Amino acid sequence: MRYRRLGRTGLDVSLVGLGTGGPSQLGQATGRAPSESYAVVHAALDLGINIFDTSPAYRESEMLLGQALQDVPRNRYILATKFSPGRIAPDAGPEAFTEQLDKSLEYLKTDHIEVLQYHGISPEAYRSIVDRFHKAALEAQQQGKIGHIGITETMGSDVYHEMLKVALEEDLFDTFMIHYGILNQLPEHDVFPMAQERNVGVFVMGPVRQSLRTPEEAVSRINHFIDEGWLDIPRPDASDPLGMGRVSEPTADVTRVAYRFAAAHPAVSTMLVGTGNPDHLRANVEDVLSGELTPEELAYLRETYGKLAWHL
C-alpha cells in the first residue's frame, strides 16, 4: 500500500480508503450478509488500508464497522465518520450534534474519532450548519472525542463545488470530501489548488460510482453525454468505452482506468473505494498499486472528458 499525508491533520492515510456508503453501503444494498461486510473490512486491513469512511446515514455501516474492528488494535486504523444534518429535526440545536456523535462513538466501539465531517452540505445549507453546530464540534474536539473536523459536499447537485470553495476560503476545516474522477474533473482547476495551498486533506468519493462499473454502464453513460450535446466524440464501444485505444492500448476495464485516474492527482490524500465485495477491493487496490496511467493517457482523458459538469 502507498500512504499519503491527510493534509494538516498530520495523519498518514492509505491512498485507497474503504468507503461504507455509496451504492454498496458495505454490501447492505447488494444483499450481502453482515459476515461478508466484516470480510470486506478485514480484507481492507490485510491490504494495508488504514482509513475507513462511514456515516450515521449509511444504514448500519457504523455498527458493522465497529463490530468488524472490535478486536483490531485501535492504532491500526483511522476512523472518519460524519454528522448528518439530514437525520435530525430541521430546527434542532447543538445538542443534536452531540447526541449523534455519542451514538457514532457507541456504534464504532471507540472513545474517539479521528475525523468528523459535516455530511453532504449544499451551498445553501452551509452557513446555517456552521452557525448552528460548529461550536458543538469544537467542544467535542476539545473533549478529545474527535481529532479533526472536515466537511463533505453533496454528491450530485453541487457540480461546481461551490460549497467547498466557500469552506476553503473560510479555512475552518482540516479535511474535505469531493466528487472527483474521469467524468468529474472540475476540482483540478480550483478546489485542488486551494486545498494544496492551505494544506487541507482531501478524500475523493465516487470515481466509479454508477457510471464506470462495467463497460456497458460506461457506454450508456457516455452515450447520454453525447446525446445531451455535452461531449462531441465518436460513439463508444464496449471493447474500449473510454477510447483509450486512441492514445495507447484499448481496454474494457473502465474501473481500473477510473481508480487509477483518481488516485493519480497529488492533491488527493485518500481515494475511497465503496464496495461490499472483497474481491473487488483486492482487484482495485492491485490496479492502483501495480501501475499508473501514462502522461499521454492522462492528457487524453483530460482533453476528452475534462469539461463535463453534470448532475447524477
Q: How many binding residues for ligand NAP (CB under 6 A)?
A: 30
d(CA 119, CA 175): 12
What is the pattern of x (binds ligand NAP, CB under 6 A) and - over residues 219-248? ------------------------------
Mutual orientation of helices 61-69 and 34-46 as an angle, nearest 10°? 60
Identify which of 255, 253, 249, 259 has the alpha carbon closest to the alpha carbon of residue 289. Answer: 259
Q: How many CB atoms lie within 10 A of CB 225?
A: 18
Which among 108-116, 167-175, 206-214, 302-310 is the span making contact with ligand NAP, rule CB under 6 A?
Answer: 206-214
Q: What is the CA 210 to chain-centroid distance, rounded?
A: 14
Find the binder of ligand NAP among 123, 207, 215, 236 (CB under 6 A): 207
Contact 281, 47 (CB under 8 A): yes
Q: Are the CB atoms for 39 and 287 separated by under 8 Å?
A: no
Write the burial class of residue 249 (CB in 10 Å: 0-12 exposed, 13-18 middle, 19+ buried): exposed
Question: Shortest gap between Cβ of 176 and ligand NAP (angstroms)?
Answer: 10
Q: Interface with ligand NAP includes 168 (CB under 6 A)?
A: no
CA 55, CA 173: separation in Å to the nearest integer? 18
Of the ranges 71-79, 131-139, 168-176, 205-213, which one interacts with ligand NAP (CB under 6 A)? 205-213
Give the contact letters, 91-130, x = binds to ligand NAP (CB under 6 A), - = no: ----------------------------xx----------
- Name which position in 1, 3, 23, 302 contacts ligand NAP (CB under 6 A): 23
Residue 42 is which amino acid? H
Nearer to ligand NAP, 20 or 104 (CB): 20
CA dihedral 63, 68, 74, 76 (to 10 degrees): -130
The cell numbers describing 55, all together, are 456515516
Q: Tell me if residue 67 falls in helix, strand or coil.
A: helix
| Residue 232 beta carbon to ligand NAP: minimum distance, rounded to whole angstroms | 26
Q: Judged by CB under 6 A, which of 4, 6, 14, 24 binds ligand NAP?
A: 24
Query: In 143-291, which ranges are continuous DSSP H helix?
Result: 162-170, 191-198, 215-228, 254-264, 278-290
Can you point out the beta strands (E) in the chain?
Answer: 3-5, 12-14, 16-19, 51-53, 78-83, 113-121, 146-153, 175-179, 201-205, 270-274
Site for ligand NAP contains 206 (CB under 6 A): yes
Interface mask toward ligand NAP for 132-161; x: CB under 6 A: --------------------x-xx------
C-alpha distances out from residue 63 to 59, 159, 244, 284, Å: 9, 31, 41, 25
Q: CB of 56: closest distance to ligand NAP in angstroms?
A: 12
Judged by CB under 6 A, the stretch of 18-26, 71-79, 218-226, 239-247 that binds ligand NAP is 18-26
Nearer to ligand NAP, 279 or 296 (CB): 279
Q: Is 47 in the site for ligand NAP (CB under 6 A)?
A: no
Rounded to a whole number of angstroms, the minimum distance from the CB of residue 219 to ligand NAP is 15
Interface with ligand NAP includes 276 (CB under 6 A)? yes
Q: How far is the CB of 311 from ligand NAP (least distance, A)?
A: 14
- Residues in the site for ligand NAP, rule: CB under 6 A? 19-24, 30, 53, 119-120, 152, 154-155, 177, 205-209, 213, 255, 272-277, 280, 283-284
